[in-house]
Amino acid sequence: MEPHQLPWSPLDPAALPDLLAGVGAPWWLAGGWSIDAFVGRVTRVHEDTDVLVLRRDQAAFRSALASWDVHTADPPGTLRPWPVGETLPVGVHDVWCRPTPSSPWSLQLMIDHTDGEDWVYRRDARLRRPVSSLAGPASDPARQVLAPEVQLLQKSKGRRPKDEADFAAAAPLLSPEARSWLRGALDIVSPGHDWAAAL
């Protein structure tokens, strides 16, 4: 069976602080779990567990997962092993992780760009914000959670049913500042997007 055909058994987000305790670099719970953390309840089934990391810190995360079986999703989606010590090509943004080669996949790292101390949206470099502002209101001392407006921006392109569900759950709860930021971001990267009108 090819690696991409193996099933997922998502890591419990509560296990992330211990797993990544020795990294020494920032990370954020992302994906659908970050939306649920913001909303304050589990709103749907989650097929995976996503963590956002910064490209500049990739070596620290690969070292922290040195005992794991880790693959990169090389565009257009071919999985290949990621050896410790290899710097990923700029075009690689997704990394699949599992404890052993026979385990289900359990963790996905989403690798984003930075410019100095700014996070840069990988689909449009015009959009950026301070790395220090990426942690949303659901963050706590043990775990940073990606700001919901940033996560919804990431989800705005795919428009899968789960993305629509996440928008419907989170949008009414956004602060005025978060709502304004997301509306402005959508106007830049996707003019006429109906999420912008809904905000």
pLDDT tens figures, 64-84: 999 999 999 988 778 999 999
User: Containing H/E element for 195?
Assistant: helix 194-198
Spatial neighbors of 68 by CB under 8 A, at least 6 apart, are 97, 98, 99, 100
Instruction: Give this prediction's pTM.
Output: 0.94
Q: What is the pLDDT of residues 91-108, one digit of tens each?
A: 999 999 999 999 999 999
Q: How far is CA 52 from CA 6, 67, 154, 199, in A?
A: 22, 20, 11, 25
Over residues 122-152, the pLDDT tens digits come to: 999 999 999 999 999 999 999 999 999 999 9
Written as one string, the DSSP assignment of 107-156 is EEEEEEEEETTEEE-TT-TT-EEEGGG-B-TT-BTTB-BB-HHHHHHHHT
